[in-house]
Structure 1
Amino acid sequence: MSTAEFGTQQDAGRRLRADREAAGIDPSTFAELIGRSRSHIRSLENGNRRITEHVAELAAAVLDTDPDRYITPRR
């Protein structure tokens, strides 16, 4: 996949937020489920922090999605 197909770090964060909200999980509960702080989740969803492969896998397991939805290529 090209960078355009993956989108930006902000796009990945928006997908993460949309999937979390669609699953009906609030940010604090989601943070607890994947072993991260609420502020970490906020940074990911706002695109201020890159979603690592490990966090993408944790999130995908909770949200029943594909972890590739949240991974963007390193620049």
Structure 2
Amino acid sequence: RFGMYISIIGAIITIALNIMLLPKYGFVAAAWTTLVAYFIMMIMSYVLGQKHYKVPYQVSRILGYIGLAIVLSYISFKHLRGN
């Protein structure tokens, strides 16, 4: 049941942001909209999951890996595109 609610909220966010952003920014807005909707759905899943079934995730370590991936992606796209 919770999965259904989270999915419906994600769909509403996706549709609303696409309606607002697609006319101005085009297809790139669809990609960012999807990223935002999935991020919000992930946070909701984490919070509900911790409330009902505690799993000792190492959140700081996970965030560190995500940050490292973002930095490496930035370097790759901005500085190593010549080849």
What TM-score, normalized by structure 2, do the two folds share?
Answer: 0.30
The answer to which structure has the higher helix fraction is: 2
Higher relative contact order (CA 8 A, sep 6+): 1
Point out the structure with max Rg over C-alpha. 2
Q: Which TM-score applies when normalising by structure 1?
A: 0.33
